[in-house]
Every structure is written in structure tokens, then in C-alpha cells.
């Protein structure tokens, strides 16, 4: 098992740690980094660039010769991470003993963690993996991205301190990421283009997440209207037949049957119970 520990810090600190762990060759220029390595433990390439507004981008393309894990200290600027896997797979856990969640090819992971808990990435040996990470701090915000950070905090900050949401990649975002290496400019101009590109990606993530919540709300509303209609029918059944003598047990049995049926239909439609769904919505909206 290959264990790599990365201290919290700026991009330069992280890449120096990576260079030491992978015994690679590091080239740094204008806040842009390129680490190439080929050792007994792994081979590959890690690129990165940091921006003055607190945003950082990293690109990982590597193959481990043994099972490996990278433990990363959490930063004190409360960043949100957006990870995009385009080849292979990797696992994430909060702490060494936390539950592992897999991020596969063509999936996106959105991460926010408590500063007291390390994020750990797990890799299987002999499986080539390629993934991209965009991170943006949410404390000590630069004037340039104040509005963007406000939107991100409103949408992605949760009740839970440690949060990882995994979903299928947005095609538009995947296309933008794949075109990164095709940018024709170099130096400051290229960095400016990349910064604008990452901001547009994060805006798409915000829109996609809001649209997703709206779609869920619409489906729940449709389901609720259907159930209200069923309740009215059940109530009419009792009222219209009030001439008959019904026992309490008989009426309770009828409404228990309806409630049980509603629960089953809800689970089939949303793959979770009503109770679990209400908890999910509370977490997703952060009570705002």
C-alpha cells in the first residue's frame, strides 16, 4: 500500500509534497505547475494552476503499481471541490475509517468537508485514472468572485459538515474540461482564459443543481396532488356510506391500506421513503 500525505497549503506547497512523494520532476512557472514521475510506486503526470481569486485547478493522470491512498489536510478557507473523472475510478472517504464512495468514469463529485477531517482518495493498482479538480475557497473572498462564491455557498453549503455528492457528468461541462488543453494561448493570457472557463463551469454546476431540485419538487408536487385526490376519495367513501355501521378497526384498516400504498408508490418513484426524502430535502436546501 502506497500512502501519500499532503499538507494544507497553497498550490506550491501541495506540489512540493507531491514531488517528494512521487520522486518526480517539477516545473513551475507563473503559478502553473507540471509534475512528471515514473517510479517503482507510480507513473504519470499532475498539472495545476492557482489563481489570485482563490480558485485552483489540478489535473491528475496516473497509474499506481500498488494500491494507494492520498490523504489531504483540509484548508482553512472552507473550499468546495468539484472533481471530474474521465478515466478509471477512485474512491473517497472522510478520514481513514469513513465510508468509501466511488467516483467512476463520466461522474462528478462535489465535496465540502470539515477542516478537522482529512479527505482521503483511494486508488487500485494497475488501473489508469484521470480526473480533474476545481476548488474555490469560500472564506476571505476576493472581490472578483464575491457573487459566484455567494451562489456556491447558498447552493452547496449543507447542514452536514462533511458532504460528497456524486452524479453523472454534465455533457457541457465535460466538453469544456476536455478542451482545456487545447487553449492556444500561453502565460497570463492563457491563465485568464482558464479562469473564465472555470467560472463558467461553476455557474453551470449551480444551475444544474438548482434545476435538479426544481425537478424533484415538481415531481413531489405531482405525487402529492395525486395522493390528495386519493385521500378525498377515501373520505368520500366513508361519508357516502355513513348509513352503514363501521367499526373503528374497519376504518383504520382502510386508511392504513391507503397510507401503505402511498409509501410504496413514493418509494418506487423516488427510490427512498417519504421520511428519508424529507431529510434529504432539508440537507439539500440547507434550511434556506
Using DSSP, state whether 186 is helix, strand or coil: coil
In this structure, the answer to whether residues 118 and 188 fall within a common structural domain is: yes
pLDDT score of 215: 47
Task: State the 10-residue block means of pLDDT for the chain, 288 residues long.
Answer: 85 90 90 92 92 86 94 78 93 90 93 81 95 83 70 72 84 82 70 84 84 50 53 53 49 54 58 54 49
Q: How many CB atoms lie within 10 A of CB 14?
A: 22
CATH code, domain with 41: 2.60.120.10
In this structure, the answer to whether residues 118 and 16 fall within a common structural domain is: yes
**Which residue, of 186, 212, 238, is where some domain finishes?**
212
**What span, in angstroms and rounded, lies between the C-alpha atoms of 53 and 64?**
33
121: nearest Cα among 83, 95, 91, 99: 91
**Which residue, of 161, 195, 212, is where some domain finishes?**
212
**Which residue, of 189, 212, 235, is where some domain finishes?**
212
Residue 3 grid cell: 500512502
For the full predicted model, state whether its pTM sits above 0.75: no
Residue 200 grid cell: 463558467
In this structure, the answer to whether residues 161 and 59 fall within a common structural domain is: yes
Residue 247 lies in domain: 218-285
In this structure, the answer to whether residues 136 and 267 fall within a common structural domain is: no
In this structure, the answer to whether residues 30 and 157 fall within a common structural domain is: yes
158: nearest Cα among 174, 138, 132: 138
In this structure, the answer to whether residues 62 and 181 fall within a common structural domain is: yes
In this structure, the answer to whether residues 40 and 150 fall within a common structural domain is: yes
In this structure, the answer to whether residues 155 and 241 fall within a common structural domain is: no
Total number of domains in the chain: 2
In this structure, the answer to whether residues 48 and 131 fall within a common structural domain is: yes
Residue 160 grid cell: 452536514
pLDDT score of 155: 79
pLDDT score of 15: 92
pLDDT score of 127: 95
User: H/E element holding 98?
Assistant: none
Using DSSP, state whether 4 is helix, strand or coil: strand
In this structure, the answer to whether residues 162 and 80 fall within a common structural domain is: yes
pLDDT score of 77: 65
177: nearest Cα among 11, 72, 47: 47
Give every CB contact of residue 103 below 8 A, 6+ residues apart in sequence. 83, 85, 89, 90, 91, 92, 109, 131, 166
CB 246 within 8 A of CB 238: yes
Task: Give the residue carrying C-alpha cell 489540478.
Answer: 58
In this structure, the answer to whether residues 159 and 241 fall within a common structural domain is: no
Burial class (CB in 10 A: 0-12, 13-18, 19+), 177: buried
In this structure, the answer to whether residues 187 and 55 fall within a common structural domain is: yes
β-strand pairing of 163-168 with 25-29: unpaired
Amino acid at each position: 500500500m502506497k500512502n501519500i500525505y499532503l499538507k494544507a497549503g497553497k498550490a506550491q506547497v501541495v506540489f512540493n509534497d507531491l514531488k517528494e512523494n512521487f520522486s518526480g520532476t517539477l516545473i513551475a512557472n507563473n503559478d502553473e505547475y507540471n509534475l512528471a514521475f515514473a517510479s517503482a510506486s507510480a507513473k504519470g503526470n499532475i498539472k495545476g494552476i492557482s489563481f489570485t481569486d482563490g480558485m485552483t485547478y489540478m489535473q491528475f493522470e496516473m497509474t499506481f503499481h500498488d494500491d494507494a491512498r492520498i490523504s489531504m489536510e483540509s484548508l482553512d478557507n472552507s473550499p468546495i471541490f468539484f472533481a471530474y473523472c474521465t478515466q478509471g475510478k477512485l474512491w473517497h472517504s472522510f478520514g481513514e475509517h469513513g465510508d468509501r464512495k466511488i467516483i467512476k468514469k463520466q461522474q462528478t463529485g462535489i465535496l465540502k468537508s470539515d477542516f478537522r477531517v482529512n479527505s482521503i482518495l483511494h486508488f487500485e493498482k494497475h488501473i489508469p485514472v484521470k480526473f480533474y479538480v476545481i476548488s474555490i475557497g469560500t472564506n476571505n473572498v476576493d472581490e472578483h468572485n464575491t457573487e459566484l462564491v455567494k451562489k456556491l455557498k447558498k447552493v452547496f453549503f449543507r447542514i452536514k459538515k462533511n458532504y460528497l455528492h456524486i452524479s453523472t457528468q454534465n455533457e457541457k461541462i465535460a466538453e469544456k474540461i476536455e478542451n482545456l488543453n487545447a487553449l492556444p494561448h500561453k502565460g497570463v493570457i492563457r491563465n485568464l482564459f482558464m479562469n473564465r472557463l472555470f467560472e463558467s463551469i461553476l455557474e453551470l454546476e449551480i444551475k444544474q443543481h438548482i434545476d435538479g431540485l426544481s425537478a424533484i419538487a415538481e415531481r413531489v408536487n405531482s405525487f402529492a396532488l395525486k395522493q390528495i385526490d386519493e385521500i378525498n376519495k377515501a373520505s368520500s367513501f366513508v361519508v357516502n356510506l355513513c348509513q352503514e355501521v363501521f367499526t373503528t378497526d374497519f376504518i383504520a384498516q382502510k386508511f392504513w391500506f391507503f397510507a401503505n400504498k402511498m409509501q410504496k408508490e413514493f418509494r418506487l418513484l423516488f427510490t427512498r421513503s417519504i421520511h428519508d426524502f424529507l431529510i434529504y430535502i432539508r440537507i439539500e436546501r440547507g434550511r434556506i
